[in-house]
Every structure is written in C-alpha cells, then in structure tokens.
Amino acid sequence: MKKRFLKRFSSAVASFAMMMTAVILPAFRVDVFAATKPRETYFCGDLRYTFSDEDYDGAFDTLTIQGYGPMPTFKTSGDDAAPWRVQKNNITSVIIEDGVKSIGANAFYEFTYLEEISVPNSVKSIGKGAFYKCSSLESIKIPYGVDTIENSSFGGCYALESVTIPETVTIIDKMAFCYCLNLKNINFKGNEIEIIEAAAFSGCGFKEFDIPDGVVTVKENAFNGCKNLEAISFPGSVKTIGTKVLSNCPELDEVYFNCKIPLDYDEDWGFDEKYFRKEHTYVSGTCVRCGRDENEKTIEKNDWDIVAADIDLSLNGSTVNVEMNSKDTTVPYEVFRALEGRRIDFVAKTDTGFVWSVNGRDVYSPKKVNLGVKTVKNEIPTSVIRRYSVDDNYKEIELAGSGEFGFKANLTIDVGTENNDKTAVLYYYDEDVNNNILELIETAKVKDGKVTFPFTHASTYIIDIYGEGSGNNEIDDGVIIDFAAGEGLVVEEIIL
C-alpha cells in the first residue's frame, strides 16, 4: 500500500515536472532569442524612438521614431543635438512612422552610414540640414505636403542618386542638394515650384536637367559646378536668372529657353551665351511653345541671334548660309563664338556679289567684325601700283572695320569671265607703313570669272591679274620674283 502510494506520488511529481518543463522552457527560449536582438526605447518630447539590432550583429542598426506631433529642432552637436545621435555611426536604416508631423533641423546631421529612410505623408516639413552629409543615403521620397526643401537639407549626400519631389513643394531653398555628386534623377511630381534658391543644385552629378514649368526665379550659382551637366532646359515661366547660374559646367553643350519669354538676367550667366536658343517648334502649323502661327513673318536675313543658334545646332560638316545686306555687314561676337573650333562653314553672301566663307577651325579669337567689302579707286597711289602692274587689269578693294579679324576668312571676288585661267595676285597695302611697296599675300587662278583669297585683317588691297608672260613679275609654277622691290626676293605660293 505504501509502495503503491509512493509510486503514484512519484509518477505525479514526474508528470508535474514534465508539465512545468513544457511551460518554462519555451518561455526561457523567448528570453534567450530576445537577448540576441536587443531593443532600447527612449522619449524625445512627444515622440518615442527605438534602437534595434535587425541583423543580429550586436550593434543597433535601425532607428524607429513613433508618436504624434512635430519633431524638435536640433543643433549639430552638444546637449542640444538629436538624442539618437549617440548611434549615428551604427544606424543604417531609419523608419519614421505615421503620425510624426515633421523632421527637425539637423535631425540626422552627418549620419554617414544611413542608407535608407522611410518618411510618411504625415511629415509636412523637413528642417534645414536634416540629412546633411548623409553620405551613404541613396534615395529618398519627400512626402506629399512638404512645401519647402530647406537650406542644406540634403547637402553633401554624395551617394544620393534619386529624389522624388511632390507637387506641394514651392521652394527649393539654398544649397538644398549641393554636392550631391551622384544625383542623376530628380522626379518632379508637379509644377508648383516657384523659386530655386542660390546654389540649390550646385555640384550635382546629373547630365540633363529640365527645370519644371512654373519656376519663376533661378537664383545665383543654382547649378554652379555641375561637372557632368550637358543639357538644361528653362521653361517659359522663368523670368529671372541670377549670376553664375551655370558657372563651372565644363560639359555643358545645350541650354534651352522658351521662345516667347523675355528674361531678366545678370550679365554674368556663367556660360557662353551662344547657347541662348529661341527656336520655335511647330506642330500642325502652331508653335507648341508660344502659339505663334508658322505663316507669320519669320526671321530677318540679319537676325544674328538666329544665325548663331543655327550654327550651334548644326552638325560638323554642315554649311550655314546667310544673305548679308551690304548696309548691315557687322557680324556679332556670338556668331564667331558659335563657330569656334567647329568643322562648320559660315558662308555670307552680300548683295554686291562678294562671298565670305569662314570655317570654325580657323576661328581663334572670336570678336565682333565688320565684313563689309567694296571696290574702290585711287585709294592706293598709282605710282605704287605701277611698280607691280604694267596695265590696268587690277581691282582695288577695301575691307570695312580695322585691325585683326581673329580668324581666317576666304573672300570670293568677281573679276570677270574674261580673266578665266589667268593668274591673280593679292597685295596688301598699308599706307602708314608700306607707302612705297605692296606686300604679297597670295596668288590664285581665276575660275568662272571669280577668284578666292584668304584674309585675316581689314585694310585696302589690290588684285592684279596677269595674262601669260605679262608684267614685271615673272610667274612660273607658283614662284614669284619681285624685281620691283629692288632685290631678288623669292616668295613661294601658299596653297590652303
């Protein structure tokens, strides 16, 4: 009886122990695993923030901020810095939950390991410097409702590649995205932005940028130092552009403006004004930019702004032809600046029969030049001419303006078909220096009644035309012996 009781008692105790083990051990396991994924929760005003170790490596890598209300404004260091700053060298992910109304100034200042952040639509403002130098952050979607991207909010986010900006944003404040070296894609959801402040995108990495329609003011240095920028478009809403907006953009090749809008801009744009384009784009007979009918009177012959734009839009190997009125022969700097270094021919025909041709590769110092040319008489003393020509088969021409052109230009002159296959010699006369002699410039054959010579500066010239074996100068296979100069000077013909 006693043994049976003890056996039953022992069995009951064993059953109870097993039951207790089944209850206790699972609870013990939960504690063990919880210990490998620690969490710490603190309070900041009305908000609660939690550090957690999501990858079980023993360091807090995730910050979660919860609550209802705005986030305080913080300093960049010291006692007034964000309290979660103590983990700034560990945090790679930030989750801001719905209910948080704002991101305070300097909230994540220099969180250099932060790679991703989730921002809810309850956030209506992002303070200045909030993500300054978060150099590992690759993308961010700014929530709907934010109206201003504050000063330096994302400045120095070197790894940032894409940003989504909602339609509620009206101001991109100064230096908001400065030195986002890898920023390539900005997705503007709307057209409500009115101001791009100073240096807002300076030093960014995009190759193309379309300023959204609705922007009225682009302030100084807005895109200064965008080393990869190749093309930028200003919408018709832009009225004011500040100084050095596009300085230090070495790859910049295309700048577009709306054709209908007069601009108020600083003289120092920071880029070559040859890119100031005002072309019209017609669809079904109407310009899609300004609404102008294509049947309206268009470009005047001497609309040099349009000529410069045509040159700039032309491909290498092209020719840009201009009908030049002999009463308006001054070609502005912008035309030659557009030509400089390009394999493009600029051909200007005057209504008096002269034709100028300039290749961009021959432009070395662009400037405004008067290409006026006319036939004159008795500008060079006859006594001087007679030392070089024994007959009257010559022409005197005078180029308008003065001094060096800054380029080499070929001038085609009509000397009459009666001179076909004869040799023409171009002499330069400078009455201040060469009052006794003419300086040989070039020889050429007359073809189809015309002859072409190179010119580099304005002055008075004579074109002397020789038949076979005529004149005091014997011409043989391109070698001229100038006996009139008083000595046996030999000059070989230059063929360009």
Tell me the percentage of the chain whose pLDDT exceeds 70.
76
- Amino acid at position 241, single letter: I
366-374 mean pLDDT: 90
> DSSP 3-state assignment of 34?
helix
Show Cβ contacts of residue 59 under 8 Å, excluding neighbours closer than 6 positions: 53, 90
Within the chain, which residue ranges are assigned CATH 3.80.10.10?
138-298
Mean pLDDT score across all residues of the chain: 79
445-466 mean pLDDT: 90
What pLDDT sits at residue 19? Answer: 46
What pLDDT sits at residue 377? Answer: 84
Residue with tokens 């744009």: 269
Of 45-49, 180-184, 373-377, 399-403, least confident by mean pLDDT is 399-403
Give yes or no for residue 452 having a pLDDT over 50.
Answer: yes
What pLDDT sits at residue 140? Answer: 92
What pLDDT sits at residue 432? Answer: 61
| Architecture of the 313-492 domain | Sandwich (2.60)
Output b/e per residue, 257-291; b: 16+ Cβ within 10 A. Answer: bbbeeeeebeeebbbbebbbbbebeeeeeebebee
What pLDDT sits at residue 93? Answer: 96
What pLDDT sits at residue 289? Answer: 54
CA dist., res. 402 & res. 408, Å (int) = 15
For 53-109, what is each residue's pLDDT tens digit?
988 888 999 999 999 999 999 999 999 999 999 999 999 999 999 999 999 999 999
Whether the CB-CB separation of 218 and 240 falls below 8 Å is answered with yes
Give yes or no for residue 121 having a pLDDT over 80.
Answer: yes
Show Cβ contacts of residue 41 under 8 Å, excluding neighbours closer than 6 positions: 48, 49, 50, 51
341: left (phi over 0), alpha (psi -120 to 50) or beta: left
Q: What angle do CA 51, 158, 165 make, to 5 degrees?
A: 80
Grade residue 292 by pLDDT with cuts at 50, 70 and 90. low
316-340 mean pLDDT: 85
Of 15-24, 42-51, 452-461, least confident by mean pLDDT is 15-24
Give yes or no for residue 445 having a pLDDT over 60.
Answer: yes
Within the chain, which residue ranges are assigned CATH 2.60.220?
313-492
pTM: 0.51
What pLDDT sits at residue 281? Answer: 57
- The domain covering 138-298 belongs, at the CATH homologous superfamily level, to Ribonuclease Inhibitor (3.80.10.10)
Give yes or no for residue 38 having a pLDDT over 80.
Answer: yes
Give yes or no for residue 275 having a pLDDT over 60.
Answer: no
| Pairwise pLDDT comparison (421 vs 252), residue with the higher score | 421
Q: How many residues in the chain?
A: 496
Show Cβ contacts of residue 1 under 8 Å, excluding neighbours closer than 6 positions: none
380-395 mean pLDDT: 78
462-484 mean pLDDT: 49
> DSSP 3-state assignment of 247?
coil
CA 349 to chain centre: 33
